[in-house]
Amino acid sequence: MVLLHDNIVGIDSAIFMHPTIWKASGHVDAFNDPLIDNRDSKKRYRADVLIEDQIAKYEEKIDKEVAKARKRFGENFDEEQFLTTNARVLENKQKRDALHERYSVAMNAMDLEELKQIILDEEIVCPISGTRNWTDVRQFNLMFKTEVGSTAEGASTIYLRPETAQGIFVNYLNVQKTGRMKLPFGIAQIGKAFRNEIVARQFIFRMREFEQMEMQFFVKPGTELEWFGNWKKTRMAWHQALGFGAENYRFHDHEKLAHYANAATDIEFHMPFGFKEVEGIHSRTNFDLSQHAKFSGRKIEYFDPETNESYTPYVIETSIGVDRMFLSIMCHSYEEEKLENGETRVVLKLPAALAPTKLAIMPLVKKDGLPEKAREIMDDLKFHFNCKYDEKDSIGKRYRRQDAVGTPYCITIDHDTLNDNCVTLRDRDTMEQQRVNINDLRSLIEDKVSITSLLKQINK
């Protein structure tokens, strides 16, 4: 974002901040999850996740009915008509919508008794014990506490940050004035965040320690919803530029808004375990800056030279979980591909711009001056790309090795190279090979693997 936009700057804020910051932001009082225990399995669950999974089951039943009907009727299948007339589909739709409405009301009111009653009425069972022997639902704060001080008696409680956003807000005035930034402008950062997730699950999708990329975009009050729409479009374009298919992404607009927001949506990616959030986009209003001004006793405003007035800016936030982003890329990129000769190759079809190793350089054999020539090419290219040198095993095994780790291109130096100054360039995805002059390698590969190749896709 900082590279793409002249009006967005970077920052690296502190992990440990004054506890009053978290009081002002609402995290001390409101950053909670509703938890419920199963008495038989002794396992603890998020009540909202159990109910959301139940809603998803109704959707799965609808999808199965559609799939069966499509298989039965073939080309004559009218899905729209089927969804509005089939009795089983309509029954599951009614149950899903009724549950969704009841759940939304309970969450908005944070009615813990109603959440438990929903779980009982829907006959939701513990995945471990298979029983419905549930405790009451109770709130659980997600922030990690620790203490600072030389003695236990004099220690003060502080928190590990559950998000990076508040570090941006408390540094807003500093960045705005030293950077001479004019509205609209953004402050972005990447860093660790920590949440005491009771149900850390699905590999690296939900963790207690994770990496966030967040950007807070400060705008004039009254323009926030327009900017919210702009950033929705921009961020979806960025995700789709990765080349994983537009059908694998969708927006999920929030019905239950956080205490600071007047609009919110998630960008969800189709993981192996369903559509899941990879990025959140929120219109945070002026809640955060106003709260920090209130608790600090200091004005946090922007003087608008065009209107000669001071006001507290509104904020549009984009927030990516880097680990979730990584998981989505790995899930889509990993393939076990059947070849024409009946063999199977494991290939990681990472977007070339994101692949950690761009190029593998391989002499065909370990003699006849080929390793020396390969090293010469390596020394020329390694300052421009992350390259790997590989001379062990047959060339076929080396290709497979690079396919498995996602290296987009392999260069093979053979005996003809010593005469014609050309090498064989192999493409990971197509396995096609072409002869390329050594002098043309850098420009040819740079066009394919640089981040600018990814950015071009955004603007299409």
Indicate if the pLDDT at residue 26 is higher than 90: no
Question: What percent of the chain has pLDDT above 90?
Answer: 43
Looking at domain 343-458, its CATH class is alpha beta
Give me the pLDDT at residue 155, please: 62
Indicate if the pLDDT at residue 407 is higher than 90: yes
Give me the pLDDT at residue 107, please: 81
Give me the pLDDT at residue 428, please: 92
User: 1-31+142-338 has which fold?
Assistant: BirA Bifunctional Protein; domain 2 (3.30.930)
Q: What is the DSSP letter of 313?
A: P
Could you tell me if 373 and 411 are in contact, meaning their C-beta atoms sit under 8 angstroms apart? no
Give me the pLDDT at residue 340, please: 81
Q: Higher pLDDT residue, 324 or 32?
A: 324
Residue range(s) in the chain whose domain bears CATH number 3.30.40.230: 32-138
Mean pLDDT value of segment 27-53 = 86
Indicate if the pLDDT at residue 154 is higher than 60: no
Q: Higher pLDDT residue, 139 or 319?
A: 319
Q: Which two tokens stand for residue 22?
A: 């978290």
d(CA 196, CA 37): 16
How does strand 145-148 pair with strand 156-160?
antiparallel
Q: Higher pLDDT residue, 450 or 257?
A: 450
Q: Dihedral of the CA atoms 233, 238, 244, 249 (nearest 10)?
A: -30
Residue range(s) in the chain whose domain bears CATH number 3.30.930.10: 1-31+142-338
Can you give 226-264 as a three-state secondary structure string?
HHHHHHHHHHHHHHHCCCCCHHHEEEEECCCCCCCCCEE
Give the model's confidence band at 131: pLDDT under 50 very low, under 70 low, under 90 confident, else very high: very high
Give me the pLDDT at residue 446, please: 87
Give me the pLDDT at residue 141, please: 77
Average pLDDT, the chain: 88
**Which pLDDT tens digit goes with each residue over 303-359?**
998 899 999 999 999 999 999 989 999 988 998 888 888 888 899 999 888 899 999
For the entire predicted model, the pTM comes to 0.75
Give the model's confidence band at 206: pLDDT under 50 very low, under 70 low, under 90 confident, else very high: confident
Mean pLDDT value of segment 62-85 = 86
Helix, strand and coil content of the chain, in percent to the nearest 5, comes to: 40, 25, 35
Give the model's confidence band at 281: pLDDT under 50 very low, under 70 low, under 90 confident, else very high: very high
32-138 is a CATH 3.30.70.20 domain = no
**Which pLDDT tens digit goes with each residue over 390-405?**
989 899 999 999 999 9
Could you tell me if 31 and 21 are in contact, meaning their C-beta atoms sit under 8 angstroms apart? no
